[in-house]
Structure 1
């Protein structure tokens, strides 16, 4: 995917200003920055959910706005930040709904569809939840189920907005490894993250946003510098990479 000088406004407020980025097959790309930086707004545009933009977004060399909803669903999966689920269907049924783009017009489920659902439930650690009503799930359980629904579509590009925000420590690590494994399979993923240590450990490249603009981008080490983080987050940090990369905020520099 390639986004070029993308700007997004609501009423008179500019939320994203002339942002450009690339996401290549085989990459897990992290979109980081403080609250209100424009990360979720930009990600929704990259996923094709929000098409009211200026600039261009291309997937496989084709303008994203020229894709039909069906074509887009085959290529891109979207996991929103706080996905609301209002229907009391089972987890297994909800995940199966992610296969809709692959189903024939008469909607008959194939063995391949069932296998895809089984795999998604397994890798997202949702097997024990499969007969639960989704309306009874905790926030973390719901996040894992929504990720399973996105993965079962077998997209080229996965766009996930804070997929680990409500997860416990074990499931955070599991999910980040899952996202990296997904990308390594000749696919790509772009995720909004707030945990800079996990972003440093698992992402191939990072885009650091600040007030709707791109403050820094590139390899992890070149983005997560003390200078960049002080300028964008207003904090001093310590960081290291003895066995795995880590970033720890130490002091707030501005009030």
Structure 2
């Protein structure tokens, strides 16, 4: 009976309820993605703009607000309200429906990049005004998502420097900004957790999103071979030249 119970998963949950028990491979995120540097982001935007200007605007929203690609598609209707709030100095923007949990969440603004965020939203709204209110063309949301995947592939935005790596860059920038302003590493982590909608999966989050800033605290481990903070904290490039000029 004991053997049957163990085989049915009724034994110790620490040993029975794992991927290894049924022979499933363990999904490891460490090293799969990393934060794009400013120079890499500039090149990403150049390729995106050559394929579809709307894609470049969408990627800017991902980088500056930590959105998932699908969230960036959905947020078009929120942009005008967000712009007003940013201009009056609000620190958090409300995303009505996040992907994964389908619950609202608050997006924290990277304060040193507030003006860049305002310019990115202004440019995205200007694009939408001449493109049927959309960043990515499509008769419905499913069509837009399929087109977005195709555009990302055409622009060679995949692998280590996929659109997800822009969420990593947002997390690093926000964490650095918060700690520069006096927040403890623990406080910064909690605020970044909430802003990107990752809940409390601390080990996965630290091993991926924040591994580039490990030197700032022994509590934020740096993955083997990860880039140091210098590669992430470059001087800002000229957003106007890259994106906001016709």
Give the alignment's TM-score, normalised by structure 2: 0.26
Greater strand fraction, Structure 1 or Structure 2: 1
Larger radius of gyration: 2
Give the alignment's TM-score, normalised by structure 1: 0.25
